[in-house]
């Protein structure tokens, strides 16, 4: 199901341009779909050189309103290319959906610097400097803007086997607050989304890691975390897309420095 909303009788994001990372599947794909259906033009970026079947279908449906780019956002030149391409393709950047991230886990006593560097390079450093690059363009344009950073319920607490990932997502929440205060004078809002357990292909990899380190059968952890949610199910990408659409829209103009828990009741804060 595609989300699409209207405001004052017109598509909610009509005339807006959005840059989205980590958009080839899962949550990023669902948000891209929602933004396009609500009138936005989108530049989407991900590591694969070729767009997924989902993005290809959206390219067929929306044509010139969607552009897919292969990009490694840990690379400064790639981040600048994303910004330049969005500006040259559509003339502005009104929304940043800062979604690209990686996951890993393991016993704390076995953690390596390589694992630490990979998680922080993608989830924190690349997230921050892409946010900074887009914010500079928004400030120069003088039309405000919306920045949405993807955190996680893991950023709300530590976990024995997930120390680095939890720390990276806590950093996302903190940077979201700091950036919101720094950019408020320019009319730029900065908010975050903190998903709980969301049923995407990534969770199959997460489940396999829990099976390895907690000596569980494959599939058991995924089943358990869904049952433990107060709403008794894992989330789906559209559960997150609704909040991402709201935060990109005029409906959230007076909201900034917040990170929304979209997790079926897992975290209460």
Q: What φ, ψ does residue 85 adopt, rounded to 5°?
A: -65, -40
Of the candidates 35, 68, 90, 165, the residue annotated as catalytic is 165
Closest CA to 240 of 2, 15, 30: 30
Contact yes or no for 264/235 (Cβ under 8 A): yes
Cβ contact 190:180 at 8 Å:
yes
Q: How far is CA 10 from the centre of its chain?
A: 26
Task: Give kind and range of the element (H or E) at residue 21.
Answer: strand 17-21
Alpha carbon distance 234, 199 (integer Å)? 6
60 contact partners, CB below 8 Å, separation of at least 6: none
Structure tokens at 116: 């630490």
Q: On the CB side of 262, how many CA atoms lie within 13 Å of its CA?
A: 23
DSSP SS3 for 133: helix
Dist. CA 96–CA 217, nearest whole Å = 39
Does the annotation count 165 as an active-site position? yes
Contact 148, 96 (CB under 8 A): yes
Kind plus residue range of the DSSP H or E element containing 221: helix 220-228
The residue with tokens 């490694």 is 72
Backbone φ and ψ of 208, nearest 5°: -65, -35
Q: Just list the catalytic residues.
A: 165
């Amino acid at each position: 199901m595609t989300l699409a909303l209207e405001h004052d009788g017109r598509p909610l994001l009509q005339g807006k341009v959005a840059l989205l990372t980590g958009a080839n599947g899962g949550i990023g794909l669902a948000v891209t779909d929602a933004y396009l259906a609500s009138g936005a033009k989108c530049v989407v970026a991900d590591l694969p050189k070729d767009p997924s079947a989902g993005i290809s279908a959206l390219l067929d449906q929306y044509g010139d309103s969607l552009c897919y780019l292969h990009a490694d956002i840990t690379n400064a030149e790639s981040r600048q290319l994303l910004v330049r391409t969005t500006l040259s393709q559509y003339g502005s950047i009104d929304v940043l959906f800062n979604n690209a991230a990686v996951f890993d886990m393991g016993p704390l006593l076995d953690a390596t610097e390589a694992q630490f560097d990979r998680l922080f390079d993608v989830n924190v450093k690349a997230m921050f400097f892409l946010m900074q690059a887009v914010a500079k363009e928004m400030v120069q344009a003088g039309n405000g803007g919306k920045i949405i950073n993807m955190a996680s319920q893991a950023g709300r607490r530590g976990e024995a086997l997930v120390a680095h990932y939890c720390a990276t997502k806590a950093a996302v929440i903190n940077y979201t607050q700091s950036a919101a205060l720094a950019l408020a004078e320019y009319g730029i809002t900065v908010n975050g989304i903190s998903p709980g357990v969301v049923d995407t292909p990534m969770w199959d990899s997460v489940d396999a890691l829990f099976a390895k380190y907690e000596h569980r059968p494959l599939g058991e952890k995924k089943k358990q975390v869904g049952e433990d949610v107060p709403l008794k199910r894992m989330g789906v990408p559209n559960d997150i897309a609704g909040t991402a659409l709201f935060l990109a829209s005029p409906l959230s103009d007076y909201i900034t420095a917040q990170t929304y828990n979209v997790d079926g009741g897992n975290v209460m804060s």
